Amino acid sequence: MLKHTVFWAAVAGLAVVALAVPAANAGGIPVDNPGFEYPVLADDDYDYSMDDEGWGYYNNGGDLGPYNPPTTEYPGEAPEGQNVGWTNPGSDADGGFAQVLTDPSATLADMTYVLTVDVGNIPSYPWNGYAVQLLAGGTPHTPGTGGDYTGPVTGGTLLAEDYNTLTIADGTFETSTVTYAYNPAHSALLGEPLQIRLLCLYKEGVSGYPEVDFDNVQLTPEPATLSMLALGGLALLRRRRK
């Protein structure tokens, strides 16, 4: 009887450890200005992304920035805080926000990463769709000039993405989730900084200024080794039953 009790306790312990560590990382990997709250804006006001706000641009010349949406655009306003991030596509390519993460914990490791972003469909501008991407590597943005107020982010290897899979009604936000489990094919990228891209899709022939809004960017690591321990415990349990 004692052996059975010890065995069940060991399996339960493995499962608890595997589930507890991601909870301990509930804060996730730091993302600069994850809710686009800086600068502070009045209701229905917008700005272009500034150099100290964390975000550069990818493929769209800096047509992006923070926006404090009124209830006439989003009845629920911003999903988190006061602001969201607005962006247009490039003239002939998908374009939008990009950030090469700088925190020491934000480098590719043998882990599973979960990226969540709230994506909004603003009624007063055309909707082309969106992309939420997680990459490894890339060159951080440099100081911008002229009206852009920020510089481009270049390079990087795509790890995983959500390419316009959600159906988002006018005036609403839906949460996009991108999950990447470390792939040994990416071993040469271990230690490279992680990069996040939030894009408005380009479609030829669409008139006006297509826009996508983003908010509440979160990146959470889940250690792969502990998940394997939990799976190993379950495998032992199956064998024990046989």
Q: Which residue did the predictor score with more confidence, 70 or 231?
A: 70
The residue to which tokens 């002939």 are assigned: 92
pLDDT at 116: 98
- Please name each of the domains of the chain with its CATH number: 29-222 (2.60.120.260)
pLDDT tens, position by position, 203-219: 988 878 999 999 999 99
pLDDT tens, position by position, 100-144: 999 999 999 999 999 999 999 999 999 999 999 999 999 999 877
Split at pLDDT 50, 70, 90, the class of 147 is low
Q: Which residue did the predictor score with more confidence, 225 or 201?
A: 201
Give Rg (Cα) of the chain.
Answer: 21
Report the alpha-carbon distance of residue 168 to residue 76 in Å, rounded. Answer: 14
Once rounded to an integer, what is the mean pLDDT over residues 191-211?
93
With H, G, I as helix, E, B as strand and everything else as coil, classify residue 231.
Answer: helix
Split at pLDDT 50, 70, 90, the class of 224 is low
202, two tokens: 């380009």
The residue to which tokens 């990459």 are assigned: 135
Split at pLDDT 50, 70, 90, the class of 154 is very high
Is the pLDDT at 229 greater than 60? The verdict is no
Least confident residue range of 9-18, 205-214, 228-237: 9-18
The residue to which tokens 């641009």 are assigned: 57
